[in-house]
């Protein structure tokens, strides 16, 4: 089943269905005639775990605007501005459980039900004050301490089968693939945001590139998402616009995909830090949209 806030054709046509037809709604993620190049973003955040009773990642994910204000993409080149770019955002309808099994089942459902989404953004927390954009996701090891000194069980005290993300993309990932890289130029994104901060009074932080997402649920959901975009035939990307460059490349020496990204934000729950996290994530999404659409 798709998330309940996604309008589907089946729901519209169902006898007695109460879902109104909204062909021009950016959150419907359906094809429609419009003067804008709409870049469609779907955002997830996690639920509680261990000593995190309220997860800042879902608070941020659920508070993002449905349409990103123009100032977040004003650095786009003329070739992108000429398309009247509009970044449409919709959050997952609930916090993602910090569960290996539930993440493995959730990601294929999202990709299958939302083939027109241009970018899946996954948010998670870390116990540092800075922000990170993760550049790779590893298959494992997510196991207990005898295999991984930092291995941590999920909220149910469980680990994935064989201590790895072997069920990603419904098990269709080639065995030789042990990690997947981001197809985004993360360093360039960080530099763009550094320039933006120099010319802005808004309260946000410049993120840092990272190649270690922690081998817990954060890295696990990222690997599953990247793998789904690359290998599952049921999750084909159906963009209604031509892309300036390939979104995925499963044939690269290390497979790459720019259809998903993982952003780590601080666990800090003060009002000041939550507002800073929201602004930082908005900035990152805008920078990614511009980079994805720039030839």
Cα torsion 64, 42, 264, 206: sign? negative
Structural domain tally of the chain?
A: 1
pLDDT tens-digit map of 232-280:
988 889 998 888 889 999 999 999 999 999 999 999 999 999 999 999 9
Q: Does a structural domain hold residue 6?
A: no
Question: Does residue 71 lie within any of the structural domains?
Answer: yes
Which of 86 and 24 is assigned the larger pLDDT? 86
Query: pTM of the prediction?
Result: 0.89
Report if residue 111 sits inside a domain: yes
β-pair type (37-44, 85-91): parallel
Report whether 141 contacts 147 (CB < 8 A). Answer: yes
Cα end-to-end span (Å), the chain: 36
Give percent of the chain above pLDDT 90. 80
89 with 65: CB under 8 angstroms?
yes
Q: Provide the pLDDT for residue 235.
A: 83
- Evaluate if residue 63 carries a pLDDT over 90: yes
Give the model's pLDDT for residue 84.
Answer: 95
Rounded to whole angstroms, how far apart are CA atoms 227 and 30?
24
Give domain status of residue 185, yes or no: yes
Could you report the per-residue pLDDT of 165-202, keeping only the tens digit for each?
A: 999 999 999 999 999 999 999 999 999 999 999 999 99
Of the candidate ranges 18-22, 50-54, 111-115, 117-121, the one whose mean pLDDT is the lowest: 18-22
- Which CATH number goes with the domain that contains 164? 3.40.630.20
Nearest alpha-carbon partner for 295 in 248, 255, 243, 254: 243
d(CA 173, CA 250): 10
Please report whether residue 27 resides in a domain: no
Q: State residue 150's pLDDT score.
A: 67
- Residue 3: is its pLDDT beyond 70? no
Instruction: Express each pLDDT in 129-146 by its tens digit.
Output: 999 999 999 999 998 866
Distance CA 177, CA 182 (A): 14
Domain that holds residue 48: 32-293
Residue 17 lies in a domain: no
| Predicted pLDDT of residue 175 | 95
Instruction: Look at residue 217 and tell me if it is in a domain.
Output: yes
For 12-16, 58-62, 166-170, 227-231, which range has the lowest pLDDT when averaged over its residues? 12-16
What pLDDT score was predicted for residue 149?
66
**Residue 22 included in any domain:** no
**pLDDT higher than threshold 80 for residue 17:** no
């Amino acid at each position: 089943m798709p998330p309940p806030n996604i309008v589907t054709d089946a729901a519209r046509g169902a006898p007695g269905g109460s879902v109104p037809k909204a062909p021009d709604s950016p959150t419907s993620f359906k094809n429609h005639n419009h003067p804008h190049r709409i870049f469609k973003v779907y955002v997830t955040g996690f639920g509680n775990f261990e000593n995190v009773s309220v997860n800042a990642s879902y608070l941020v994910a659920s508070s993002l605007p449905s349409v990103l204000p123009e100032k977040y993409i004003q650095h786009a080149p003329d070739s992108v501005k000429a398309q009247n770019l509009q970044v449409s955002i919709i959050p997952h309808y609930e916090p993602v459980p910090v569960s290996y099994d539930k993440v493995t089942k959730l990601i294929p459902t999202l990709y299958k039900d939302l083939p027109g989404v241009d970018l899946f953004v996954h948010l998670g927390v870390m116990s540092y004050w800075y922000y990170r954009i993760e550049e790779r996701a590893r298959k494992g090891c997510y196991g207990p301490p005898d295999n991984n000194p930092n291995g941590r069980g999920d909220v149910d005290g469980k680990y994935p089968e064989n201590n790895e993300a072997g069920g990603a993309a419904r098990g269709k990932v080639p065995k030789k693939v042990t990690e997947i890289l981001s197809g985004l130029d993360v360093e360039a994104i960080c530099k763009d945001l550094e320039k933006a901060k120099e010319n802005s009074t808004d309260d946000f932080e410049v993120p840092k590139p990272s190649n270690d997402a922690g081998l817990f649920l954060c890295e696990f959901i990222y690997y599953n998402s990247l793998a789904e975009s690359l290998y599952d035939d049921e999750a084909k990307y159906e963009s209604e616009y031509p892309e300036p460059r390939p979104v995925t490349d499963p044939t690269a020496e290390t497979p790459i995909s720019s259809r998903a990204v993982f952003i780590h934000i601080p666990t800090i729950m003060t009002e000041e830090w939550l507002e800073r996290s929201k602004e930082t994530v908005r900035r990152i999404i805008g920078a990614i949209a511009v980079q994805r659409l720039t030839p």
